[in-house]
Amino acid sequence: MELFYSHEIEGNICHLDQDESGHCIKVLRHRSGDEISVIDGCGTLLRCRILTDSPKGVDAEILAAEKDWGCHPYRLHMAVCPTKNNDRFEWFAEKACEIGFDELTPTIGEHSERKVLKTSRVGKILVSAAKQSLKAAIPVINEPVAVKDFIRSCAGESTSLKLIAYCFEDERVPRRSIKEVLDGFEGSDITIMIGPEGDFSHAEAEAALEAGFIPVHLGASRLRTETAALTAAASVYFRYM
């Protein structure tokens, strides 16, 4: 099934940008009058008829709309420290999108080796992964923030389940498995923090606990950052399966 993405929708007209238009007209040879399927990136699938078949910008008339197309029964915000190797972070973003998540915040921890991340590349990967896995909603990618700033920004959220996965042992605060904590949660709004290769600092972990985050472990296996992040996303997927 061929999907296009439009972030410019006005009334009953949707506009495809130059990339999508070129693919639609030059590669797939669509012409005026053809019907195409378009996602709005917010969860709605649009059935459209092409009005203008310019490779620079396609305009199409919306014939029908289907909400919550390819959606999942939870809301998952992943806050993940970028990996030293960019490919691994981008790989996580693609796979987590296939499984199903909603928002990605790259967080920079005190032990992070990588302090910067180009979100535009990740954004493109999320668009193609959403189209490839037949989801009308494209996960939001936020600009990177410091771990402590992210924790502060979450401090208010009381209805959501906030989890932080760190590896070091702390007798004062025993960690439960993410599976056990998810099984005991009645709601559907979840935020999970995954640290960098060097793990979260003790100060970051303490700040998270003060802000209402629950410390969890991801089982006995020692996982790389991107594997830990995907495994955590999969645990949410299975919780609501």
Nearest residue (CB) to a copy of itself, 58 versus 218: 218
- Closest CB 136 distance from a copy of itself, rounded Å: 12
Residue 233 CB neighbours (<10 A): 23
Between 149 and 183, name the residue whose CB sits nearer to a copy of itself: 183
* Least distance between a copy of itself and beta carbon 233 (Å): 10
Measured in whole angstroms, the distance separating CA 5 from the mean position of its chain's CA atoms is: 16
Q: How far is the CB of 73 from a copy of itself (least distance, A)?
A: 8
For position 134 contacting a copy of itself by CB under 8 A, the verdict is: yes
CB nearer to a copy of itself: give 31 or 222. 222
Contact between 86 and a copy of itself per CB under 8 A: no
* Paired sense of beta strands 35-39 and 45-54, if any: antiparallel
65, 179, 198, 206: which one binds a copy of itself (CB under 8 A): 179
Number of chain positions touching a copy of itself (CB under 8 A) = 27
Is residue 132 close enough to count as binding a copy of itself by CB under 8 A? yes
Q: Residue 87 burial (CB < 10 Å; 0-12/13-18/19+)?
A: exposed
The DSSP result for 129-167, as a single string, is HHHHTT-SB--EEPPPEEHHHHHHHHTT--SSEEEEE--
Going by C-alpha positions, the residue among 104, 83, 69 that lies closest to residue 196 is: 83
Beta bridge partners of 3: 37
Q: Do residues 57 and 42 touch, judged by C-beta distance below 8 A?
A: no
The answer to whether 100 contacts a copy of itself (rule: CB under 8 A) is: yes
Residue found by looking up tokens 């493109």 in the block: 124
Whether 62 and 14 have beta carbons less than 8 Å apart is answered as: yes
> In the stretch 54-83, what mask flags binding to a copy of itself with x, by CB under 8 A?
----------------x-x-----------
> What's the closest the beta carbon of residue 18 comes to a copy of itself, in angstroms?
27
Would the CA dihedral through 32, 36, 41, 43 be positive or negative? Answer: positive
Per CB under 8 A, the segment of 15-23, 45-53, 186-194, 222-230 that binds a copy of itself is 222-230
* Total residues belonging to the chain: 241
- In angstroms, the CA 89 to CA 85 distance is 7
177 binds a copy of itself (CB under 8 A): yes
Stretch that binds a copy of itself, among 7-15, 52-60, 139-147, 226-234 (CB under 8 A): 226-234
Please select the residue that binds a copy of itself; options are 137, 194, 219, 229, rule is CB under 8 A: 219
Q: Which residues bind a copy of itself (CB under 8 A)?
A: 70, 72, 91, 95, 98-100, 132-135, 177, 179, 219-224, 227, 230-231, 234-235, 237-238, 241
